[in-house]
Structure 1
């Protein structure tokens, strides 16, 4: 498959590295307004380097394009690529509004091309393992979950993350990872409640989200930009028969504690993830390419991406008003 990449920042470089090492895939071109970044992506992927994306498309004739641009540019580029008859793999979030995301989905469908949104948490082995444990009933009925995601304040060439009109802010850009996973885990969302601190001069920003599901399950999500330590993710999923815990700073992948049947003691089982050759971003884009080749449905759909945006915006509304927001008509 012939693939091109538009945008050669952090995510673009990850795509360039992974696609450049993927059997059956040729990265024909990479484009970025900054020549140096385009050249770096070209060097790791074996592609031609461009600063004009339209020239790249004309010369390289890709079948699929990976859009690794700032969020506020997603809609314009995805619509243009779809109208050219090209399949699109776009980084998350799909867009800054539900209307834009749904238009992207509709236009891609209208032109007979596929649209995939990179909600990569679904491809992290520890999260997938936890989901499988819950669905298999290992911890009984899952009723409560806590998710935490902390990292340094994002930096970029034009600091577009600093402009909420371009990035969507901490909930839309960071916590949306866990919003999507919580929906995958628990299904229909009934209501959300959120609070967000205003960024300080150093970019530190903190947000807390509570999601209530139709099943009665509750998920608490925490996001923190400005964390001084390494990027950290944590979760705890509690059921009436046990608890699953994960901390990215610990060696083990999952800490699974099963209720012992009333004896008063607990049995802790360390469940390591299977050794993987490739990182989750590789697994994600490989999956999307297989869906194009086979005409199969992806693990994460465009509709899932639209739902995540709708919930993130409801959380923003809650943070502004200080009131819970009901998700009318929300389906899984």
Structure 2
């Protein structure tokens, strides 16, 4: 079994700890948080020793891999710390707040011979996997139109650091980056992005349109401060048909294919709903399998770096009101 530990005992850290605890190939050996109460509660819940010092935890229990589930501005220092101790890293998204920091984290781990995985979990959701397969099946040569939305309450109501873009990256870097990583995997390289952003004390909303080399347009929305429960949705349409789905749809996928005009109906709808194996479990299980085999993961550290670059480009466009080129960009 692989000895695992978790740094950060909030919501995401609790998920990582719980999944490791129920995973046959993993042995959860410790959790850590600078908030002693949070560390104690999670440690007692999962039945392992808890620490308030990451250095002490790494030196005393000697995990083989550590999950980093702390506020974004703390990611890179803790990645470096784990690498210095020869410990492989699974870091929550985004990897860093800037591409320069992300590059540093990747280089630092490579130089010390440890693996770096980044938790872009959307690629592990069943409906999004089905979407990627459906896009390939439709396969319009002219590309298509993709729209995705994520909206929920403002996380700054619970954790104040989310309101400071210097700490969280704001709604684009923290929330929209889920879909940014996904569209990179689904549609390949993009040419440019044009974005709009509105921010107040209670609302952080952003919309970004990415234009891809193969003709596809992807329009993403992210909304903190939505007066309702969290929800996400997506729809892809091209000359061959429409695919739609979302979190409020029971992880179901709806495919409507275009058919010959002589047919009695203009489309055939095929609903698909499956029982999920938890995507966080699948993600961590996949990363540990890659650690054992040496294979590349579904989402690589380089993918995570590019997601940060694209998110930063969207932020720049939102700030300037101008499109930002993505092909060959440097220093974003």
Tell me whether the two structures share a fold, i.e. TM-score over 0.5. Answer: yes
Task: Give me the whole-angstrom Cα distance separating, in 2, the residues matched to 1:158 and 1:315.
Answer: 24
Secondary structure at the aligned position of 2:138 is classed as coil
Q: How does 1:272-291 map to 2 (within 5 A)?
A: 272-273=273-274, 275-276=275-276, 278-291=277-290
**1:138 positional shift:** 3.5
Shift of 1:251: 4.0
Please state whether the residue corresponding to 1:249 is helix, strand or coil.
Answer: helix
Corresponding residue of 1:213: 212
Q: What's 2:225 paired with?
A: 226
- Give the aligned CA root-mean-square deviation in angstroms: 1.6
Paired residue secondary structure (1:26):
strand
Question: SS of the counterpart of 1:197?
Answer: strand
1:52 equivalenced with 2:53 (yes/no):
yes
Stretch deviating more after TM superposition (140-149 or 57-66): 140-149
1:246-325 alignment, distance < 5 Å: 246-251=245-250, 253-263=252-262, 265-273=266-274, 275-276=275-276, 278-325=277-324
Q: 1:214 to 1:10 in 2, by over 3 A?
A: same
Query: What are the Cα deviations for residues 275-304 of structure 1, in whole angstroms up to 9, with x where unaligned?
Result: 23x311111111000000111110000100
Q: CA deviation at 1:45?
A: 2.6
Relative distance call for 1:46 and 1:156 in structure 2 (3 A) is farther
On the 8 A contact 2:5/2:17 being kept in 1, the answer is no
Offset at residue 209 of structure 1 (A):
0.3
How far the C-alpha of 1:158 sits from its partner, in A, is 5.2
Contact 2:250–2:273 (Cα < 8 Å) also in 1: no
Q: Which runs of 4+ in 1 moved over 3 A?
A: 138-142, 155-158
Aligned to 2:81: 80
Structure 2 CA distance for aligned equivalents of residues 317 and 265 of structure 1:
42
TM-score by length of 2: 0.94
Give distance in 2, aligned partners of 1:24 and 1:154: 33
Q: CA deviation at 1:266?
A: 1.3
d(CA) in 1 for partners of 2:224, 2:57: 35
1:80 Cα offset (Å): 1.6
**What is the aligned residue count?**
326
